[in-house]
Amino acid sequence: MPPRLAFLLVGFCVALNAAGFLFHLFEPIPLYDEIAHFITPFTLVALLAEVIYRWGGDDEFFPTPHRAILTGIAIGLLGAIGWEIIEVILGAMGAPISNTPVDSIFDVFLGMCGGGLGGWFADRYLDRIFGRSRIDPHQRRVR
């Protein structure tokens, strides 16, 4: 991922979530909470693929499009469950957070969807970097 895009995605996620907490925007603004719970896992999965590549790993987590999506969904699921636990803790501490079961389930679903899209994006990106075929990951790309 180009560094500028990575920086913009991280900056956007930080600003989106920080503004939501500081100004209590998650509930009153329609779709604000949903966008935050979708974009954040997308960004985390796409950046994880970048980190794997930059640290010299090949693409064992994202070898095919289906596996990349499943890996992204798993990462999104774990991240969303972790975040919902944090929301429960913050709510218990008195923060004005809506963590009803329906809201939490939908937030986890959105985290899985964002993670799956992030996995798909990471697979497409890594295929270009490794010059791999989209049909068979063991073949070189044919132009």
* pLDDT 10s digits, 26-68: 888 999 999 999 999 999 988 887 787 777 666 666 677 888 8
Residue 137 belongs to some domain of the structure: no
Backbone angles phi, psi at 68, to 5 degrees: -65, -40
Phi, psi angles (nearest 5°) of residue 140: -70, 155
Establish if 107 belongs to a structural domain: yes
Say which residue the tokens 């991922």 belong to: 1
Are the beta carbons of 79 and 115 closer than 8 angstroms? yes
Tell if the pTM clears 0.85, that is, is over it.
no
CA distance 114 to 112: 5
Q: Does any domain span residue 143?
A: no
Q: Mark out the alpha helices in the chain (DSSP H runs).
A: 3-22, 32-54, 65-92, 101-130
Phi, psi of 84 (to 5 degrees): -65, -35
Identify the residue with better confidence: 130 or 43.
43
Task: Provide mean pLDDT across the span 21-26.
Answer: 86
| Three-class secondary structure of residue 85 per DSSP | helix
Which structural domain range is residue 107 located in? 3-130
Domain count, the chain: 1
Q: Tell me, yes or no, whether 140 lies in a domain.
A: no
Question: For position 24, what pLDDT does the model report?
Answer: 84
Question: Domain for residue 139, yes or no?
Answer: no
Domain assignment of residue 136, yes or no: no
Per-residue pLDDT, 61: 63
